[in-house]
């Protein structure tokens, strides 16, 4: 199974997990800001077209618009924040906009296919904590 990962090797990054045309894809971006630009950039890389959809509202009840979770040839299967330090990584958090957290099976499969040997811990997000 093919894999295309852009694994962050710095202290903290947002990550978006995709299946695109059957390929496990992992992309990262700045920890500050929205997941939407990461999604848009990645779908653009793969030539995937989409119609922007209204997503969840933020804390101020302002709606966000971006690519939907699924489309022609792609599915977004996880989102979170990863912190890497040496050979250890912690994946947690979630996207409130997409109402989606990390997908542990996907990221472990990405690491395995890419030959990464990180000690990975995935934390579960509980709203209000």
Q: What is the CATH number of the domain that holds 72?
A: 3.50.20.20
For residue 92, with 0-12 CB atoms within 10 Å meaning exposed, 13-18 middle and 19 or more buried, which class applies?
Answer: middle
Residue 88 has what pLDDT? 85
What's the total number of domains in the chain?
1
Between 117 and 20, the higher pLDDT residue: 20
- At 127, is the pLDDT very low, low, confident or very high (cuts 50, 70, 90)? low
Structural domain includes residue 128: no
Structural domain includes residue 103: yes
Domain that holds residue 97: 3-122
Residue 125 has what pLDDT? 62
In whole angstroms, how far apart are CA 108 and each of 22, 51, 54, 58, 97?
16, 30, 30, 30, 24
Residue 63 has what pLDDT? 78
* Tokens found for residue 91: 């994946």
Structural domain includes residue 129: no
For the stretch 61-114, pLDDT in tens is: 677 889 999 999 999 999 999 988 878 888 999 998 898 999 999 988 888 888
Residue 126 has pLDDT above 90, yes or no: no
User: Which helix H or strand E contains 37, and what residues bound it?
Assistant: helix 36-45
In whole angstroms, how far apart are CA 14 and each of 30, 36, 37, 59, 61?
6, 11, 11, 19, 22
In whole angstroms, how far apart are CA 2 and each of 23, 105, 113, 117?
5, 15, 8, 18
Structural domain includes residue 127: no
Between 91 and 118, the higher pLDDT residue: 91
Residue 128 has what pLDDT? 45
Q: Strand 88-92 vs strand 74-85: parallel, antiparallel, or unpaired?
A: antiparallel
């Amino acid at each position: 199974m093919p894999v295309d990962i852009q694994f962050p090797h710095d202290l903290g990054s947002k990550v978006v997990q995709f299946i695109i045309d059957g390929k496990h894809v992992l992309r990262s971006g700045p920890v500050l800001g929205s997941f939407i630009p990461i999604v848009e950039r990645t779908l653009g890389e793969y030539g995937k077209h989409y119609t922007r959809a209204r997503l969840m509202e933020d804390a101020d009840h302002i709606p966000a618009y971006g690519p939907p979770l699924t489309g022609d040839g792609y599915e977004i299967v996880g989102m979170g924040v990863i912190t890497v330090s040496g050979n250890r990584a912690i994946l947690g958090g979630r996207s409130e906009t997409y109402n989606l957290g990390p997908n542990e099976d996907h990221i472990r499969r990405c690491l395995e296919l890419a030959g990464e040997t990180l000690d990975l811990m995935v934390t579960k997000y509980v709203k209000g904590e």
